[in-house]
Chains A and B, each alone.
Chain A
Amino acid sequence: MDVLMKLDRVTKTYHMGEVTVNALRETSLDVFQGEILVILGPSGSGKSTLLNIMGGMDLPTTGEMFFLGENLSRAGDKRLTGYRRNEIGFVFQFYNLIPDLTGRENVDLAADLVDEPLKVQEVLAEVGLAERMEHFPSQMSGGEQQRVSIARAAVKNPRLLLCDEPTGALDYQTGKLILALLVKINRERGSTVVIVTHNTPIGDMAHRVVRMRDGTIVEIRENAAPLPPERIEW
């Protein structure tokens, strides 16, 4: 399988006055094209930090990050913006939609950024929001907001979809629907999907599961037969 992203001995250190926090220590990881990767670990283990670096939202303190062979670990703001714009779709735990835009307009906003976006209507229909797309975020449930957020990430047809606790704020049923959506996008569009969670069973739907502890990867496990999300229990 082709390597989409290569992380090579990445560290991230925060200085808070006297205290130094090693959020990531010499972490190396290859992400393959078209896979679903789930990153598991307890709170504070560095999952979000790793994901943010992968998404070009943050730079590693040391170590290298390659995306399709291009070294981005020292890239400037301009390059990183372009990288996020064209290659990355982000889904957050708390949706982070623009409150002043309707569901459809939130997706439009992302579609306007790229040269060849998917059809906004279609993507919204795919996530099951065709009916409610003219509503504002304040008029939607959490699950609906998260679907808009996924549509917003997917409409750019990004190579890499990064999801930080996408089900964290949702109930069990809704969470499963959201995960199913991610699998569908992975299968139909071929996007690589990375999901961060502290919810171990979710690992069962992944092609590979990465376990983190204390800022570093302690285990990478391949899943011969990933389960469809509907069959996962937690």
Chain B
Amino acid sequence: MSALNNKLWRTIIKTKGQFIAVVAVVAMGIAVYIGMTTAYQNLNTSKEKFYRDRNFADYYFHVVKAPQQVTKQIATIPGVAGVTGRIQKDVALINDFNQRATARLTSYTLPVKYEINSLQLLTGRFFAAEGVAAQPGEQTRTGDIEVLVDPQYAEGNRLDYGDTVSIVAEGRVVPLTVVGTATGPEFIYLMKDAGTLLPDPTTFGIIMLSRERAQEILNLKGQINQVLVTLVPGADAKRVADQVEEVLEPYGNLAGYPRKQQLSNAMLEAELDGLRASSRYMPAIFLGIAAAIQFVILSRMVRAQRLQIGIMKALGYRSRQVILHYTGYAVLVALCGAILGTLLGLVLSSFMSQAYALYFNLPASIGAVNTQAIIYGFVLSIGISSLAGLTACRSVVKINPAESMHPELPKGGAKTMVEGWSWLWRRLDTAWKMSIRSAARNRGRFGITLVGIVFAVGMLVVSLFTLDAVDYMINKHFYQNQRYDYLVRFTAPVKESELLNIERIEGVQKAEPLLEVPVRINYNGKSEDDAVTGLNPGTSLKKLADPRERPLEVPGEGLLISQRTANKLGAGVGDMVEVETLLGIGPSRLSTIKIVGISNQLVGGGCFVSLQQANVLLQERQLVSGVMLKVAPALSAGLEAELEEMTAVSSVLSRQKELDNFNKNLEASIYSISILVLFALLLGFAIVYNSSVISFAERQRELASLRVLGFSIQEVSGILLKENLLQSVLGVVLGLPFGYLMVKGYIGALSTDLYSLPVIIYPTTYVYAALGSFFFIIVAHLFAVRGIKQLQLVEVLKNKD
């Protein structure tokens, strides 16, 4: 080892606290980068592989029903690469927990590999196409309908090979035999519809079976109700879709949408987008701040070692060698940080992959190590550190060996801006004056530290914000907007008078009908699919609000359009829109209706009209498709049991169960929020610690002379703290609003069609963020001035530097 290397090594030992702190910041940045990039890559690659392998559809068309031969005609449309016709229908499912659940029956033609959106078998075997004859040694009964179920449903309901599940189809209870689990590219994120908050495998599942059996069960012999299309590369999707819809026109078009709007895909893409955004901005913050800290450390080192540098130069070292020597410090920081960060990042990515495996049904393993991310991590870390190092050391060139031997002019001492405000200045005690002038003298360091604190505080706000947004949503959705305990939906609309059957159930305190109609809204040449819900004006079980959160009443006449659809159509209050019903029964009806308000639901969206108007849209009278119930809590179990018996009921949504499910999912996020908070605290600690250590080191002599004057240890430490607080308080004050901006930016990067988190930050969050900040500030300060007790007055004062 050369003498210079020895010197570098001793420098690191001497500044080990700072070295460790900045290594930790680099490591966090690299860990976040590798963790998130790896998780993103893994998720994305397995998504793409899955989509490719299972022939994921480019376009979806829903019709009332069409003969299955129609697919042959669609296949001839130019631009269409492949067509699959299938049946997909939601039916009520009866399970052992006496809870009404929904099963999405989805049909396949064997062998599935030729199908669009084909299946990947996970356990068991494929279903037989026809009724199964008894096999020797197997306990199958003739006439069994074999099905596959999605793995989360199977796990949630503890279903095994050979178990039976029962569904209610066409008014009959049909037992189905489970022969395995399977998943498909459209079932990666399983939510019933966009109105659902979160997946809940106990109340919603996919049942896959052969087309023939599905047609049989649903009385749709030779019919299909969905057409899936893949496009040849480069085809004009919109034109092809128009042509397909033309072909399907006679069979009652219900919906047509591209892959982008397919729910599972949209949720997955939203998660991927969020992940990609975070994987860029989070490491940027950490590495940027790490670079800033290194810059501060090295600038100060070069300044303090001016004489040594002069001597080295006098001995014949070149500037370049000296610069490389100091930059070596930064490179070592980068290397240690990158190694540590990679290890942490691998742990993080495996945690994240595990979490994703829980939410996303992706068959391909998503635990791959992303070597590219690791290499980039090293390059990034070393690149940024070297840059910071070189910038900080560039003044070495200017140091002249002869001049460096002369003592530097006494530094400091200048009036500051604050002194202009004499009314304030006169009120400050001497210690504050010292702090303010010292901050003004070290403007660069003060500024860098300030920015660092602002970011750390901002990150604290961002981390805590998630809890606020979720709490706000729960509160809004479950306690303010949705006042009912149960939402019961029927398999098909019924006459309002039939609700008496439900109203008379013991425990029902209030029942309010609703009629949900899927519609297409046309305006100004554009059209958008949405759902219209008819409610009684003056309903008390469902509260509506406009985009500015002012309450809305259900109008007697006219449409409350959802904000999303209004934006897409460019329509506003007062405009007339054409509403086309897309209900699976009966022909579609057209009517024109005036927009009287814009409704903004946190979850699900949707348009609202009066119940009567909804009937008018359908050209029907007194139809209802569901009912909202308020129930005496003690009697809810009995009510659930009674609803269970009713075959006309397709689903029962229980607020309590939704809430439980929501809270269960929240526990998982608490984990990641804690990690974020921890990172933010560490970041803040590292910044404040570093600046305090430097300011302590630079001012030892000053502090020692204060001790000689008779200042106590507490008083001297108080002076340092004041200086620290000066920048910290400013940092916190600026950091809180900055956190708000960060949240806005973050939400902007995330916002999708499906949901948007409200930018809601409770005042208490600012308080917690501020408290957290002062915590890291004080702890860092105490760590930095540990040496104050050992301050050797005699030693420090003995020599003039």
Pick from A84, A94, A135: contact of B710, CB below 8 A. A84
| Selected interface stretch from B143-151, B241-249, B793-801 | B793-801
Could you count the A-B residue pairs with CB atoms below 8 Å apart for me: how many are there? 91
How long is the Cα–Cα vector from A48 to B712 in the complex, in angstroms? Answer: 22
Contact (Cβ within 8 A) A99 B708 = no
Contact (Cβ within 8 A) A109 B430 = yes
List which A75-126 residues lie within 8 A (CB) of chain B: 77-78, 81-82, 84-86, 88, 90, 92, 94, 96-102, 105, 108-110, 112-114
Contact (Cβ within 8 A) A108 B701 = no
Is residue B441 within 8 Å, beta carbon to beta carbon, of the partner chain? yes
Contact (Cβ within 8 A) A105 B412 = no
* Complex interface: chain B residues within 8 A of A82 (CB): 710
Is residue B713 within 8 Å, beta carbon to beta carbon, of the partner chain? yes
Contact (Cβ within 8 A) B708 A138 = no
Contact (Cβ within 8 A) B702 A98 = yes
A86 and chain B: residue at smallest CB distance: B710
* Complex interface: chain A residues within 8 A of B702 (CB): 96, 98-99
Is residue B114 within 8 Å, beta carbon to beta carbon, of the partner chain? no
List which B699-717 residues lie within 8 A (CB) of chain A: 701-702, 704-713
* Complex interface: chain B residues within 8 A of A85 (CB): 709-711
Is residue B215 within 8 Å, beta carbon to beta carbon, of the partner chain? no
Contact (Cβ within 8 A) B793 A57 = yes
How long is the Cα–Cα vector from A157 to B704 in the complex, in angstroms? Answer: 21
Pick from B410, B434, B701: contact of A137, CB below 8 A. B410
Pick from A58, A86, A100, A156: contact of B793, CB below 8 A. A58
Given contacts A112-B429, A138-B412, contact A100 B712 (CB under 8 A): no
Given contacts A77-B713, A152-B709, contact A98 B800 (CB under 8 A): no
Is residue B137 within 8 Å, beta carbon to beta carbon, of the partner chain? no
* Complex interface: chain B residues within 8 A of A101 (CB): 413, 430, 433-434, 437
Pick from B412, B713, B800: contact of A100, CB below 8 A. B412
Contact (Cβ within 8 A) B794 A57 = yes
Map CB proximity to A onto B408-436 as digits: 1 under 8 Å, 0 otherwise: 01111110000000000000011001100
Is residue A55 within 8 Å, beta carbon to beta carbon, of the partner chain? yes
Contact (Cβ within 8 A) A138 B710 = no
Give chain B nearest CB distance to A192 CB in angstroms.
17
List which B657-713 residues lie within 8 A (CB) of chain A: 701-702, 704-713
* Complex interface: chain B residues within 8 A of A88 (CB): 710
How long is the Cα–Cα vector from A114 to B709 in the complex, in angstroms? Answer: 10
How long is the Cα–Cα vector from A113 to B710 in the complex, in angstroms? Answer: 7
B709 and chain A: residue at smallest CB distance: A110
Contact (Cβ within 8 A) B709 A90 = yes
How long is the Cα–Cα vector from A81 to B715 in the complex, in angstroms? Answer: 11
* Complex interface: chain B residues within 8 A of A84 (CB): 707-710
Pick from B412, B430, B797, B798: contact of A99, CB below 8 A. B412
Is residue A136 within 8 Å, beta carbon to beta carbon, of the partner chain? yes
Give chain A nearest CB distance to B718 CB in angstroms.
13
Map CB proximity to A onto B758-801 as digits: 1 under 8 Å, 0 otherwise: 00000000000000000000000000000001000110011010
Pick from B410, B430, B705, B800: contact of A105, CB below 8 A. B430
Contact (Cβ within 8 A) B708 A90 = yes
Is residue A33 within 8 Å, beta carbon to beta carbon, of the partner chain? no
B723 and chain A: residue at smallest CB distance: A100
Is residue A52 within 8 Å, beta carbon to beta carbon, of the partner chain? yes
Give chain A nearest CB distance to B792 CB in angstroms.
9
Give chain A nearest CB distance to B303 CB in angstroms.
15
B413 and chain A: residue at smallest CB distance: A136
Is residue A200 within 8 Å, beta carbon to beta carbon, of the partner chain? no
* Complex interface: chain A residues within 8 A of B413 (CB): 99-102, 135-139
How long is the Cα–Cα vector from A125 to B793 in the complex, in angstroms? Answer: 30
How long is the Cα–Cα vector from A75 to B706 in the complex, in angstroms? Answer: 19
Contact (Cβ within 8 A) B800 A112 = no
How long is the Cα–Cα vector from A48 to B713 in the complex, in angstroms? Answer: 23
* Complex interface: chain B residues within 8 A of A152 (CB): 709
* Complex interface: chain A residues within 8 A of B793 (CB): 52, 57-58
Give chain B nearest CB distance to A228 CB in angstroms.
29
Is residue B438 within 8 Å, beta carbon to beta carbon, of the partner chain? yes
Map CB proximity to B onto A128-172 as digits: 1 under 8 Å, 0 otherwise: 000000011111000000000000100010000000000000000
Give chain A nearest CB distance to B313 CB in angstroms.
26
Given contacts A58-B793, A81-B710, A90-B709, contact A100 B434 (CB under 8 A): yes
Pick from A52, A114, A137, A138: contact of B794, CB below 8 A. A52
B793 and chain A: residue at smallest CB distance: A57
Interface size on B, residues (CB 8 A): 31
* Complex interface: chain B residues within 8 A of A136 (CB): 412-414
Pick from B409, B701, B711, B789: contact of A138, CB below 8 A. B409
Give chain A nearest CB distance to B426 CB in angstroms.
12
How long is the Cα–Cα vector from A109 to B429 in the complex, in angstroms? Answer: 9
Contact (Cβ within 8 A) B411 A99 = yes
How long is the Cα–Cα vector from A135 to B412 in the complex, in angstroms? Answer: 11
Contact (Cβ within 8 A) A98 B434 = yes
Contact (Cβ within 8 A) A100 B441 = yes
Give chain A nearest CB distance to B801 CB in angstroms.
9
Given contacts A52-B794, A96-B701, A99-B412, contact A112 B430 (CB under 8 A): yes
How long is the Cα–Cα vector from A96 to B793 in the complex, in angstroms? Answer: 12
How long is the Cα–Cα vector from A179 to B243 in the complex, in angstroms? Answer: 107
Contact (Cβ within 8 A) A99 B410 = yes
Contact (Cβ within 8 A) A100 B709 = no
* Complex interface: chain B residues within 8 A of A48 (CB): 794, 798
Pick from A94, A99, A137: contact of B800, CB below 8 A. A94
* Complex interface: chain B residues within 8 A of A105 (CB): 430, 433
A112 and chain B: residue at smallest CB distance: B430
A102 and chain B: residue at smallest CB distance: B413
* Complex interface: chain B residues within 8 A of A81 (CB): 707, 710-713
Contact (Cβ within 8 A) B794 A108 = no
* Complex interface: chain A residues within 8 A of B412 (CB): 99-100, 136-138
How long is the Cα–Cα vector from A152 to B441 in the complex, in angstroms? Answer: 24
Give chain B nearest CB distance to A107 CB in angstroms.
10
* Complex interface: chain B residues within 8 A of A86 (CB): 710
How long is the Cα–Cα vector from A110 to B705 in the complex, in angstroms? Answer: 11
Give chain B nearest CB distance to A155 CB in angstroms.
10
Give chain B nearest CB distance to A15 CB in angstroms.
14
Pick from A52, A96, A135: contact of B705, CB below 8 A. A96
> Which of A84, A98, A137, A156 has the most C-beta atoms of chain B within 10 angstroms of its own C-beta?
A98
* Complex interface: chain B residues within 8 A of A156 (CB): 710
Given contacts A58-B794, A100-B434, contact A78 B712 (CB under 8 A): yes
Given contacts A77-B713, A112-B430, contact A100 B797 (CB under 8 A): no
How long is the Cα–Cα vector from A96 to B797 in the complex, in angstroms? Answer: 8
Give chain A nearest CB distance to B594 CB in angstroms.
72
How long is the Cα–Cα vector from A109 to B433 in the complex, in angstroms? Answer: 11
* Complex interface: chain B residues within 8 A of A55 (CB): 708
Pick from B429, B705, B710, B713: contact of A98, CB below 8 A. B705
Contact (Cβ within 8 A) B706 A98 = yes
* Complex interface: chain B residues within 8 A of A113 (CB): 709-711
> Which of B704, B708, B710, B712 has the most C-beta atoms of chain A within 10 angstroms of its own C-beta?
B710
* Complex interface: chain B residues within 8 A of A110 (CB): 709-710
How long is the Cα–Cα vector from A110 to B708 in the complex, in angstroms? Answer: 10
Give chain A nearest CB distance to B64 CB in angstroms.
83
A81 and chain B: residue at smallest CB distance: B712
* Complex interface: chain B residues within 8 A of A137 (CB): 410, 412-413
Map CB proximity to B onto A36-59 as digits: 1 under 8 Å, 0 otherwise: 000000000000100010010110
How long is the Cα–Cα vector from A137 to B430 in the complex, in angstroms? Answer: 15
A98 and chain B: residue at smallest CB distance: B702
Q: List 19 A-B contacts (CB under 8 A).
A: A58-B793, A78-B712, A85-B710, A90-B708, A92-B705, A98-B706, A100-B433, A100-B437, A100-B441, A108-B430, A109-B706, A109-B709, A110-B709, A112-B429, A112-B430, A136-B412, A137-B412, A137-B413, A138-B411
**Sample of 7 more A-B contacts, CB < 8 Å, known A100-B413, A112-B430, A135-B413:** A52-B794, A81-B712, A84-B707, A85-B711, A100-B412, A100-B437, A138-B411
The 6 closest A-B pairs by CB, nearest first: A136-B413, A85-B710, A99-B412, A100-B437, A96-B705, A138-B410
